[in-house]
Chains A and B, each alone.
Chain A
Amino acid sequence: MKILVCISHVPDTTSKIAFVDSNTKFDTSGVQFIIGPYDDYALARAIELKETSGATVTVLNVGLIDTEPTIRKALAIGADDAIRVNAEPTDSLFVAAQIAEHAKGYDLILMGRESIDFNSGVVHAMVGEMLGIPSVSPVMKLDIEGTKAKMSKEIEGGKEQVEANLPLVAGCQEPIAEWKIPNMRGIMSARTKPLKVVEPKSTESSVVTQKFELPAPKGAVKMISADNVGELVTRLKTEAKVL
């Protein structure tokens, strides 16, 4: 079985978000970049499938050269080889088109349910649409039985058991697998694993980001005494008007 895992290169979840150049560019100063947390679950499940059924795992990232340390980390975790599409991931349609270009021939295409920077949550659906194969997300459990994938998918207020034939695209989330931490041997071997750099398929983007904005700052917290809980209810009614 051939598995493709698509990973995003995103700011660490504890990052403070700021913008520069009149709010047109993300401020990368002091920001640590990581494999997207949801993508990390997808990768962990792929490595488990590799260990149990002898699959091969390729990672793919759409990004400029600064994403290579993130890709190497995925190789250190256990992926066999990697593809970097040399382009800035501007919007979901563009990223999906790049992935679809390289995803043919894989039995399973895994990625996170969404990237934690732009949060569109649709790249898996778009790749499935472009390749004419099923896509399922967010997947919390994934097992392969012959040519079929058996999945548990989260829905609002519960979950569904879903089946689909391979090849398949799945957007993953916890608890599909436990995150894997690279060991020293993995880190050493990652340095020499193949990382192929390819130029993007030209796709004109019909979505253009004009500017960014931060939410309005929050006012100071109003503290209420634990001995006077009734005051909270009154304030929520008359001051905040949310009851």
Chain B
Amino acid sequence: MNILVFVETSEGKIRKTSLEAVAYAHGMGGTVTAIALGAADANELQAIGKYGASKILHAADTKLNEHVIQVYSSVLAKAMQDENADVLVLANSSLGTPVAAKVAIKTGASFASNVSELPNTSGGFVVKRSIYTGKAFAHVELKSPKKVIAIRKNAAELKETGSVGSVTNYVVTLNDADFNTKTISTEKATGEILLPEAEIVVSGGRGMKGPEHWGILLDLAKALHAATGCSKPVSDMGWRPHHEHVGQTGVKVAPQLYIAIGISGAIQHLAGVNSSKCIVVINKDADAPFFKAADYGIVGDAFDILPKLTAAVLAAK
């Protein structure tokens, strides 16, 4: 089985979830070729080999620095053909998922997104995918000879299985008509840990009482190297930016540790966090429904507990 993995870059760096996609492909047990498009750090490209790619392709055409979905999908469909790939694997993202869907149509492949485990190939090719916003799973058979799979975070364990690889230049011919969207400007928080990729998330709700109180939450996040999230009311009221909204209609997270502070735990919020490995709930209301979904709980005042918790985290380092 030949597997092509699209590795996504952000400011030249390989996204961690893309390395998970390489590890996922390695776990499937085929020949793994990774491909990166646009500007990418040379050392980071070579390091992809450590996660199981035997071949690393890089299309460095500067026109690929802008993430145009149509352009990326044409390049990847062609690369699948050139590499004789049976399967394309990539990480779910605002870029990767629509690109994957378009490649599936161009190549006549079966498609699944939000895939959470390695495929079962004992009889056909069956993947487990998350549905109902994390409240259930579906086992779906992909019947076409070619397959395109977009995986969710933690679908594969990120471990080093090989050594650094060498990078081959991949020459692309771009079609002008594919540049059908134009990015005018990008506003991106720099230096922050991206919420969908974070291993630890510290999230605040209405119990934080106002944006001016977020400092103590940010201190805890910093001590834990965590990304920060928030509940829907908090983003609706403009206390925090929309991209921090965790829940059914916001970002779905799957960290090792999710710490919820002053969030009551509406079912719509739980839908965005129920794939977390461990959930800690801090709330002054002992009857907050979130406690039922938590692994650990503390009943108490966030303004009293947060500084103590930050100190305890720093002391334990």
- Could you tell me which A residues sit within 8 Å of B by CB distance? 11, 13-14, 17, 19, 37-38, 91-93, 116-122, 124-126, 128-130, 133-138, 140, 153-165, 173-175, 206-215, 218-219, 221-226, 229-230, 232-237, 240, 242-243
Contact = CB atoms under 8 A, between A and B. Distances in A.
A45 to B, nearest CB: 15
A221 B295 contact: yes
Contacts of B135: 17, 214-215
8 contacts: A17-B135, A119-B130, A129-B102, A134-B70, A155-B186, A221-B297, A223-B299, A230-B312
Given A37-B248, A162-B183, A221-B296, 5 more contacts: A125-B98, A135-B98, A154-B243, A175-B242, A240-B278
Contacts of B192: 157
Contact of A13 (B104, B105, B268, B309): B268
Interface residues on B, range: 35 or more
Contacts of A207: 110-112, 140-143
A155 B297 CA distance: 32
A117 B111 contact: no
B42 interface: no
Interface in B288-302: 291-301
Contacts of B200: 242
B98 A213 contact: no
A209 B101 CA distance: 18
Given A122-B111, A134-B181, A212-B138, A129 B297 contact: no
Contacts of A159: 186-188, 243
A233 B313 contact: yes
B255 to A, nearest CB: 9
Nearest to A229: B308
Nearest to B92: A121
Interface string B104-148: 111001111110000000000010101111111111111110000
Given A206-B110, A207-B111, A237 B316 contact: yes
B173 interface: no
B194 A232 contact: no
Nearest to A120: B113
Interface centre among A133, A174, A221 (most CB of B within 10 A): A221
A235 B129 CA distance: 31
A224 to B, nearest CB: 5
B289 to A, nearest CB: 11
Contact of B113 (A122, A130, A138): A122
Contact of B104 (A93, A154, A175, A213): A93
Contacts of B301: 226
A13 B297 CA distance: 25
